[in-house]
């Protein structure tokens, strides 16, 4: 695949992922009639199902990263060049913003918004460390042992992490930035974004270091 096609896959895949996350959050909140648990259940199931489908269809094209941390880890392991990684990240961020915009248009909301949903605690920051550590661990170990299981493994982990982490598992800097632009159920205040992104970068780095230690070096996987 050419870089332009891979980048298009990353942009469209991330856009659809954000449309799923934000759109299902809006729909879930509207139908839950004030029951936050029901809204979160709808949001997590839709996100897991959508993520599974998107990884299946775009994995052969771009690797289906949809996440700057995943792309950074791929650069670290030599599976992606720095040039390709930069293009991937730009595609992911632009796609994420487009996905939020599409969700707003679909549900008749103002296109330009900024979230008032503060997530300011260190516990929530730790939640992002744990969520991203787990996500990267799942990806790297599945790459080592069960490549074909990656779509289901990633979708299952993210669905569960919605519930066991205090932050509801953003685990993705592009997703975090884009969700600051929606004042809906899935939103995060721009003031809370740095805490989450730092936690995500820490979690990704710790997981990569751990897996490298576990196997005594880089993971032997085919280049993307």
pLDDT at 132: 98
pLDDT at 223: 46
pLDDT at 204: 98
pTM: 0.94
The CATH class given to the 3-215 domain equals mainly alpha
Q: Where are the domains of the chain?
A: 3-215
**Contact call for residues 27 and 38 (beta carbons, < 8 A):** no
Mean pLDDT by 10 residues, the chain (224 residues): 95 98 97 96 98 98 98 95 98 98 98 94 97 98 95 98 98 98 97 98 98 82 50
């Amino acid at each position: 695949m050419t870089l332009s096609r891979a980048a298009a896959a990353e942009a469209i895949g991330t856009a659809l992922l954000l449309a799923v996350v934000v759109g299902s959050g809006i729909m879930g909140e509207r139908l839950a009639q004030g029951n936050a648990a029901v809204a979160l259940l709808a949001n997590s199931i839709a996100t897991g199902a959508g993520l599974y489908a998107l990884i299946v269809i775009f994995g052969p094209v771009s690797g289906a990263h949809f996440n700057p941390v995943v792309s950074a880890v791929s650069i670290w392991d030599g599976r992606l060049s720095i040039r390709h990684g930069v293009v991937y990240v730009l595609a992911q961020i632009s796609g994420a913003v487009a996905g939020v915009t599409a969700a707003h248009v679909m549900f008749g909301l103002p296109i330009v918004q900024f979230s008032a949903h503060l997530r300011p605690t260190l516990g929530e920051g730790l939640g992002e460390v744990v969520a991203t550590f787990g996500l990267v661990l799942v990806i790297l170990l599945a790459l080592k042992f069960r490549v074909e299981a990656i779509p289901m493994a990633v979708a299952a982990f993210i669905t569960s992490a919605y519930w066991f982490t205090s932050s509801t598992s953003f685990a993705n800097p592009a997703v975090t930035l884009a969700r600051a632009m929606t004042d809906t159920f899935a939103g995060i205040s721009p003031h809370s974004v740095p805490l989450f992104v730092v936690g995500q970068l820490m979690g990704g780095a710790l997981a990569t270091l751990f897996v490298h230690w576990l196997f005594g070096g880089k993971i032997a996987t085919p280049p993307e």
